[in-house]
């Protein structure tokens, strides 16, 4: 699942994974776990993330390759937050070469909507889950909600510039494939989820 920061990929990936009975794999969640654990990868990733830049390809590819080797992904998975660069996409192709077709969903949202979403959102201080509007505690684990260091308007715009420069070429990489679909992410969550489900079914030739 592709899309810029704030497009709702995490929420929609979880909905889709639950509906299809496969694991949701979020590189953002894996990175946050590494940051909270204070591992060398986590410390390096935090220094990069706090400036609004993207974590390097080598780290991300290694994290995803290890995760996709686990048995729970044998029947499929929903991958969110990866790939973000063409190099990562090429690496992913080799990881899934002997699996079912890779369906690529691009969630599109206007920039000003993204800036508003990201500069006003809160996330869980414990599990990293994004809050619903007006909430003060995490609906998932009950921990306090906080604002991420990189969720102020200036850094948000830098993150979107980085995304446009480094990740937007993924659309060019994927859009000629018959399993590529674009979905309007600037609508209510349930409508986005319905469009994504229909797009996946269409990309798989009608298979549910």
Would the pTM of this model clear 0.85, i.e. be above it? no
Query: Which superfamily does CATH assign the domain made up of 9-203 to?
Result: P-loop containing nucleotide triphosphate hydrolases (3.40.50.300)
Q: Tens digit of pLDDT for each residue in 197-207?
A: 999 999 998 55
Give the pLDDT band (50/70/90) at residue 13.
very high
pLDDT at 191 over 50: yes
Q: Give the residue numbers annotated as catalytic, written as ranges.
A: 9, 84, 121, 148, 159
Average pLDDT of the chain is: 87
Q: Tens digit of pLDDT for each residue in 100-132?
A: 899 999 999 999 999 888 877 788 888 877 765
* Dist CA 198 CA 196 (whole Å): 5
Domain residue ranges in the chain: 9-203
Helix, strand, coil percent content, the chain, rounded in steps of 5: 50, 10, 40
């Amino acid at each position: 699942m592709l899309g810029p920061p704030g497009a709702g990929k995490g929420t929609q990936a979880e909905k889709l994974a639950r509906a299809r009975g496969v694991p949701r794999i979020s590189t953002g969640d894996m990175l946050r776990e590494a940051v909270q654990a204070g591992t060398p990868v986590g410390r390096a990733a935090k220094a990069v993330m706090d400036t609004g830049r993207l974590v390097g390809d080598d780290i991300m590819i290694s994290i995803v390759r290890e995760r996709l080797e686990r048995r729970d992904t044998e029947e499929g998975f929903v991958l969110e937050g990866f790939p973000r660069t063409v190099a990562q996409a090429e690496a992913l192709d080799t990881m899934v070469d002997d699996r079912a077709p890779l369906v690529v969903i691009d969630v599109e949202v206007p920039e000003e909507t993204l800036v508003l979403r990201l500069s006003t959102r809160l996330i869980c201080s414990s599990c990293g889950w994004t809050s619903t509007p007006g909430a003060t505690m995490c609906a998932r684990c009950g921990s306090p909600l906080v604002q991420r260091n990189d969720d102020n308007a200036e850094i948000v715009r830098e993150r979107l510039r980085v995304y446009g420069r480094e990740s937007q070429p993924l659309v060019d990489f994927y859009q000629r494939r018959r399993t590529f679909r674009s979905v309007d992410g600037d609508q209510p969550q349930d409508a986005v989820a319905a469009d994504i489900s229909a797009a996946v079914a269409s990309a798989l030739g009608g298979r549910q």
